[in-house]
Structure 1
Amino acid sequence: MPHLPRPRRSRRPGTVVVRLRGRIDARSAEHTGRTLADALGTSPNILEVDLSGVEHLSADGTGAFFTGLRAARSRGSRLAVTHAPPQAAMMLNRVGLLRLLSADEGHGTTGS
């Protein structure tokens, strides 16, 4: 199960950052998705999900990000995935999540 720290406010006004670590797979996807949805409780403009500490993201694990994206949209927030390692970025791209973020949310940053 990934380590899910408490969301924190960014130095950028209106942004909340969640830094994920570990493996995100079928066993942890539901919990991770709930964590992302809960981080939207303060209705930030942007929920930044930092994946720099993610060791592995499975296809099943990407469901957490779709949960987060749906929750963000329902609250009028944007979800931005940042610092994705190559394997995680490839998996997010494979399931169409990066395309959704870049087309519908106006941005989607990975690897930076």
Structure 2
Amino acid sequence: MSMRIFSLASALAVSSCGSSSGAQPAGEQIACALDGAAGFARVCSLERSGSQVTVRRPDGGFRRFEIVTDGGLAALDGAGEARETVLSNGMIEAQIDGDRYRFRLEAPGSAAKP
């Protein structure tokens, strides 16, 4: 009996390993081109908190940015310098260390627009 319980517990422990591999990050889904990729895919997410935004990669990595007073971005996670390009419809493309992210940049305290 104890051998069956041990086998069941072992099977459950092994089956739970890696079960989050297909999970999407929480937050607003945004387009990103990671690690120098040419094309964009909506596989990253964006979380807003006051004047800070956190962009989460599907592999668990993330980038944190501060929205600065001139409307640009500053990297907060010790990464390289963030550059942004203004796109149409209030969107920007943030570039840092070979990664690019596209999202709507909003001033801190402003309401999110659909």
Higher-RCO chain (CA-CA 8 Å, sequence separation at least 6): 1
- Fold match (TM-score > 0.5): no
User: When the two structures are superposed, what TM-score results if normalisation uses the length of structure 2?
Assistant: 0.24
More helix by share: 1
More strand by share: 2
User: When the two structures are superposed, what TM-score results if normalisation uses the length of structure 1?
Assistant: 0.25
Q: Which of the pair has more CA radius of gyration?
A: 2
